[in-house]
Chains A and B, each alone.
Chain A
Amino acid sequence: MQGDLTTSSLSKTYGKLQAVRDLDLTINAGEVFGLLGPNGSGKTTFLGMVTGVVNPTSGSFQWFGEPNSHHQRKRIGTILETPIFYPYLSGRKNLELIARIKVADPLRIDPVLDRVDLLSRADDKFKTYSLGMKQRLAIAGALLGDPDVLIFDEPTNGLDPEGIAQMRTLISGIAETGKTIILASHLLDEVQKICTHFGVLRKGELLHSGPIDEVMGSKAMIEVWSDDPGLEAALKSFKNGIRIEVQNDRFILHVDKVGESAALNKYLFEKGITASLLVPTKKSLEKQFIEILDQAGR
């Protein structure tokens, strides 16, 4: 299947620093893809490459299955961490300029300004806007060309709680219209709340990518505690267990699905071990994230 965005061996080096290393990634139409990674993990460099502002050192990428050119960028709306506009122009005039560059219908300007709730301040100069308003204008600018793909780079950075809530509502609203969204963030709960798919970047390498549901639903953990010394050996021999870790004297058994807890209970009982605690838990994205980083670290 041809993805909206396909990269192959995409790499970028700055001097000795390898910012992005051999990145192969496919993002399909309609996905809300969260790109997770600590600050400095290469998220912004990656987005810079696929939006045409950073020249890849090697490798390539395709948008919509076509070789890369500036024409495709007219079909993509990008919201950067720091909104960029001409400070001496009003919000509306800035959008008029973008409409000319994107060859978009200027009649869309008022509707998109309304969508981000900026219509009443549209004729004020951009430099008088608050950060939240600047970010919303950036969304208006991105929506102007009715793009197939929207890219957000740390969209809630520096916003106050109200601004963060507004931004998330906007992004979720856009996602519901079926547009493909690529969201770079270091905030796990942000990705968990909004995204359908995610990828993890560390030191420029893509450690994992896949749907969030798989992580959340089919993989699970069971927390077990008993004063019986045979518990650990019993858990190790449980056939559906994947691995065991110890946390505060308690054993955490990783299994394929949450439903294993009943089977485990029965199995322990048969072995003559009474578990005084047995709690099935779904993995949160946070645990999964830490796990992915851990595995890569080994």
Chain B
Amino acid sequence: MNPIKLLQIEWYKMRHYRTFWVIMILFFVLQGLSVSSGMLVLEWLKVKVPTDSGIDFTKIPIYFFPDIWQNLTYVSVYFKVIPAILVIITISNEFSNRTIKQNIIDGMSRAEFVLSKFLLILVISVVSTVFVIFIGLISGLIYTPSPSFNEIFTDFSFVGAYFLDLLAYLTMAFLIAMLIRRSGLSIALLLLALPIEYIFTANIPDALAVIVPYFPQHAINNLISFPFSRYAFLEIVDYVPVNMVFTVILYILLFYGLISLKLKKSDL
């Protein structure tokens, strides 16, 4: 079956599923609110923090091109946990309702099932990325004094990093759901995955410390570095590291392979 047909099947499952709409709307509203409330935060800081230093927080150019792209994507990507929970719910529902079994019986191959869910993840990632671009352009154009075309698209690579970050994280959620099959436990493991990885890497001997950034969630989070310390005149990683891009792409392929292998070997 061609990918378009598979995506149509998946979309048919989703568009009549109320939880899908509730979670996706929550995701976009929260993301939109948080990134557009940056000025409010700065105003609040201006009132709360003594200004002997003469710093006017509202003058900090967080919404200026090209800074905005890293700032915006860094904040937005925190909300990836919301669609990841949706991914887990849809996959584990297929197992708990046993509809995955019926899909296979009706003539889907296991590989087609995996692809149909991955296409859903891909579409969620693309739509979210378009949303972030939209927010970025609007805010940037409002706050940046006379932006040039060149300025607007400088550091646009962070938008690509946001896409990759989301895609990798959602594929990881897919893998967790495929292995655990139950939504509660899968969501718990998803939320604990980052602390678990940090505890694990903290205990790696110094001689091997060089591999730490290549652990899955380290690599994903290294795509977009913390940007705001630059306003305290500290040095930041103000680019998307290419080695991390490749590492994350490899992880996506690895997760996809593991998901396919697991389903291939499973009796339903």
CB distance from B96 to the nearest CB of A (A): 10
A48 contacts partner chain B, Cβ-Cβ < 8 Å? yes
List, in ascending order, chain A residues with CB within 8 A of B266's CB: 55
Q: Is the CB of B13 within 8 A of A97?
A: yes
In the bound complex, CA of A83 to CA of B105 (Å): 12
Residue contact B16 to A74, C-beta cutoff 8 Å: no
Interface positions of B from 103 to 141, Cβ below 8 Å from A: 103-109, 112
Contact A52 B5 (CB under 8 A): no
Interface string of A42-64 (1 = CB under 8 A from B): 00000010011111000000000
Question: Which of B99, B102, B265 has most chain A Cβ within 10 Å?
Answer: B102
Q: Which residue of B lies closest to A86 (CB)?
A: B99
Which residue from B8, B13, B104, B108 sits with its C-beta under 8 Å from A86? Answer: B13
From B8, B18, B99, B105, residue with most partner A Cβ within 10 Å: B105
Knowing A73-B105, A102-B107, say if A54 contacts B268 (CB, 8 Å).
yes
Interface of chain B, main secondary structure: helix
Q: How near does chain B come to A104, taking the closest CB pair, in angstroms?
A: 10
- Chain A minimum-CB-distance residue to B16: A89
Against A, the Cβ 8 Å flags (1 = close, 0 = not) of B7-42 are 011001100111000000000000000000000000
A residues in contact with B9, CB < 8 Å: 97, 100-101
The total of chain B residues at the interface (CB under 8 A) is 27
- Indicate whether A100 sits within 8 Å of B99 (C-beta atoms), given known contacts A54-B267, A88-B18: no
Option from B12, B97, B264 in Cβ contact (under 8 Å) with A97: B12
Nearest-Cβ distance from residue B88 to partner chain A, whole angstroms: 17
Chain A hits for B112, CB < 8 A: 70
B18 touches A101 (CB 8 A): no
Write the nearest CB–CB distance from A154 to chain B, whole angstroms. 15
Residues of A with C-beta under 8 A to B102? 80, 84-85
Find out whether the CB atom of B106 lies under 8 angstroms from the CB atom of A73. Answer: yes
Complex Cα gap A84–B12 (Å): 17
Do A53 and B97 contact each other (CB < 8 Å), given the known contacts A89-B16, A93-B16, A96-B12? no
A80 cross-chain contacts in B, Cβ below 8 A: 101-102, 105
B106 touches A98 (CB 8 A): yes
Q: Smallest CB-CB separation from B17: which chain A residue? A: A88
Is residue B262 within 8 Å, beta carbon to beta carbon, of the partner chain? no
Q: Which of A54, A82, A101 contacts B106 (CB 8 A)?
A: A101
Kindly provide the distance from the CB of A180 to the nearest chain B CB, expressed in whole angstroms.
16
B16 touches A101 (CB 8 A): no
Interface residue? B230 (CB, 8 A) = no
CB contacts (< 8 Å) of A82 on chain B: these are: 98
Is the CB–CB distance between A74 and B106 below 8 Å? yes
The answer to whether A70 and B267 touch across the interface, beta carbons within 8 angstroms, is: no
Is B12 within 8 A of A53, CB to CB? no
Question: Which residues on the B side are within 8 Å of A54 (C-beta)?
Answer: 267-268
List the interface of chain A (C-beta within 8 A of B).
Answer: 48, 51-55, 69-71, 73-74, 78, 80, 82, 84-89, 93, 96-98, 100-103, 141, 145
- 14 A-B pairs within 8 Å (CB atoms) are namely A51-B105, A70-B109, A73-B106, A73-B107, A78-B105, A78-B106, A84-B98, A88-B16, A89-B16, A100-B9, A101-B103, A101-B106, A103-B1, A145-B107
10 residue pairs, one from A and one from B, having the closest CB atoms: A74-B107, A70-B109, A84-B102, A73-B107, A53-B268, A101-B106, A54-B267, A78-B105, A84-B98, A51-B105
B residues adjacent to A (C-beta < 8 A): 1, 5, 8-9, 12-13, 16-18, 97-99, 101-109, 112, 264-268
Q: A73-B105, A80-B102, A85-B99 are in contact. List 20 more A-B contacts (CB 8 A).
A: A48-B268, A51-B105, A53-B104, A54-B267, A54-B268, A55-B267, A70-B109, A71-B107, A78-B106, A80-B105, A84-B102, A86-B97, A97-B12, A97-B13, A100-B5, A100-B8, A100-B9, A103-B107, A141-B106, A145-B107
